[in-house]
Amino acid sequence: MTSERPILQLGHPTLRQVAQPVKSTADAQVQQLIDDLILTVQAASGVGLAAPQVGQSLQLLVVASRPNPRYPHAPVMEPTALINPRLIAHSEDTVKGWEGCLSIPGIRGLVPRYREVEVEYLDPWGAVQRVIWTDFVARIFQHESDHLAGKVFLDRVESTADLMTEQEYQTRVLAEGSGAGS
Ligand code: NI
């Protein structure tokens, strides 16, 4: 049965580990984990979630963009589970945009990311898939992919001056309607 899972918070050592490759996509526990990640990210008003964030140190993440109270301008997409994802190619240019993280509540940061990425991964049925994502969805992928390497967005900000509390972000960035491109 699908259930929401508790999300680990910054300071938990699992968030700083390099995740292990998934050995078998057919594993019932892997299928359960995918269902639970999608349910958990939607319940928490997130747009992506990586397995290490729920205590499973595996190379598995979901990208599930849709407008919600934390990301009112997010584009709508089908939730997508990526197993053992690999960055195949990326644009030369980067863009800075605001990010948050369900493992780091209360903080937003302006993070530089590649504008476009090409990713290869296994889908939940074990088939190899390739996708090209741009802008906000490319940003989500790069954020979640960092979790598989034991990194968080705080490691990527160029300056601590690019950090804001959630409250200031809601007031200054979202209320101005700019959303800083995200
Ligand atoms: Ni995160």
Distance 128 CA to ligand 1 centre (A): 25
Element (H, E) at 138: helix 135-148
Q: Token digits for 142? A: 């790069």
Q: Does some domain include residue 6? A: no
pLDDT of residue 173: 87
* Residue 128 to residue 83: CA distance in whole angstroms: 9
Q: Does some domain include residue 100? A: yes
Query: What pTM value is reported for the model?
Result: 0.95
Quick one: how many helices (H) and strands (E) in the chain?
3, 8
Distance 100 CA to ligand 1 centre (A): 7
Q: Does some domain include residue 4? A: no
* Residue 106 to residue 89: CA distance in whole angstroms: 32
Distance 153 CA to ligand 1 centre (A): 7
Q: Is residue 131's pLDDT more than 60?
A: yes
Distance 46 CA to ligand 1 centre (A): 9
Q: Does some domain include residue 2? A: no
Tell me which of 134 and 72 has the higher pLDDT: 134
Q: Does some domain include residue 46? A: yes
Q: Does some domain include residue 152? A: yes
- Residue 118, C-beta contacts closer than 8 angstroms, at least 6 positions apart: 87, 88, 89, 90, 130, 131, 132
Of 4, 116, 120, 144, which is the active-site residue? 144
Domain count, the chain: 1
**What range does the domain containing 87 cover?**
13-176
Q: How many CB atoms lie within 10 A of CB 136?
A: 21
Q: Does some domain include residue 8? A: no
Q: How many CB atoms lie within 10 A of CB 106?
A: 10
pLDDT of residue 175: 78
pLDDT, tens digit, for every residue of 92-117? 999 999 999 999 999 999 999 999 99
Q: Is residue 182's pLDDT more than 50?
A: no
Distance 27 CA to ligand 1 centre (A): 25
Distance 133 CA to ligand 1 centre (A): 18
Element (H, E) at 30: helix 28-43
* Residue 20 to residue 2: CA distance in whole angstroms: 23
The CATH number of residue 168's host domain is 3.90.45.10
Q: Is 176 known to be catalytic?
A: no
- As residues whose CB is below 5 A from the ion ligand 1, the structure lists 101
Q: Pick from 34, 47, 28: which is nearest to 5 by CA? A: 34
- Residue 146, C-beta contacts closer than 8 angstroms, at least 6 positions apart: 152, 153, 155, 156
Residue labelled with tokens 């269902």: 35
pLDDT of residue 101: 97
Q: Cβ-count burial of 76 within 10 angstroms (0-12 exposed, 13-18 middle, 19+ buried)?
A: exposed
* DSSP class per residue in 70-98: TBTTPPP---EEEEEEEEEEE-S-EEEEE
pLDDT, tens digit, for every residue of 137-154? 999 999 999 999 999 999
Q: Does some domain include residue 117? A: yes
pLDDT of residue 177: 61
